[in-house]
Amino acid sequence: MASVHSQRTGEELPSRQPLYVQVRDQIVTSIEAGEWHAGDMLPSEFELADRFRVSQGTVRKGLDLLEAEGVLRRRQGLGTFVAEADDGWGRAELPGIGHPLDADLELLSCSRGHAGDTAAAALGLRRGAAITVVRRLARVAGEPFALIDSCVSSERFDGLDARRIKQADCNLRRIWLRQFGLRVVSDSPLYRAGLAGREEARLLGVGLDAPLLEVLRTASGMDGRPVEWTTVWCRTDLYGYRP
């Protein structure tokens, strides 16, 4: 990797990235291309250094980035592994110091629509652009906990439908990665409190006007551009929400 241009097809990227960032990007690209799947062990740092024509320390710095982003997991004496794509909707947790609880995801709907002002701004689309809205329900111990609406550009994720989502166990990030070759990372969310409307109350099993936690978040691809806009409506009478 003596030079960016010698290995890239000729696109761009902000002029000149440090080598360790290029290493990071190359590894993400390889994962997105299907060279390594979730659970696979990556070549050793020295092998990667050889492959990318950089020193082992530079490879390590790139791997450090990816571990911090949750893309890789490393264990001393064992190796570096590709992490399972986390759906990233959040987690339920008991307020008194406890571990995150397991939740089951259920697909409620997958429908087409047009971007309103908020969604368009969040996704960098023009107002009225075609979007696909995926509505899911998260259950904890069988009880409804969160209603999750995710919006993506219909153009970018062409062919996204209920069948595919169910096949992927309702894990959207897994679909982005395996079907569309795109690994995303969640941005920092914005939080609000609101009251349950008719629809939310029915789906979450709470009374009308019950207090609900609203979590607003975008997720961006490796290039930093937002590709997913998610709103979570969360009842927190039993559990708290941990990002």
Partner DNA sequence: CAGTGGTCTAGACCACTCG
Partner DNA sequence: GAGTGGTCTAGACCACTGG
Q: Which residues bind DNA (CB under 7 A)?
A: 18-21, 42-47, 53-58, 60-61, 63, 74-80
Closest to 106 in 3D by CA, of 58, 147, 45: 147
Least distance between DNA and beta carbon 26 (Å)? 13
Question: DSSP letter at 128?
Answer: T
Counting DSSP H helices and E strands in the chain, the numbers are: 8, 12
Q: Which two tokens stand for residue 181?
A: 């070759």
From 20-28, 41-49, 93-101, 159-167, span contacting its own copies (CB under 8 A): 93-101
- Pick out residues in 133-162 that bind its own copies (CB under 8 A): none
211 counts as binding its own copies under rule CB under 8 A:
yes
What is the helix (H) or strand (E) element at residue 23, kind and residue range?
helix 19-32
Partner from its own copies, DNA, none binding residue 150, C-beta < 5-8 Å depending on class: none
Q: How far apart are CA 44 and CA 13, in angstroms?
A: 27
At residue 193, the 3 state secondary structure works out as strand
Least distance between its own copies and beta carbon 191 (Å)? 4
Name the residues that contact its own copies, by CB under 8 A. Answer: 93, 95-97, 117-118, 121-122, 188, 190-195, 211-216, 234-236, 240-243
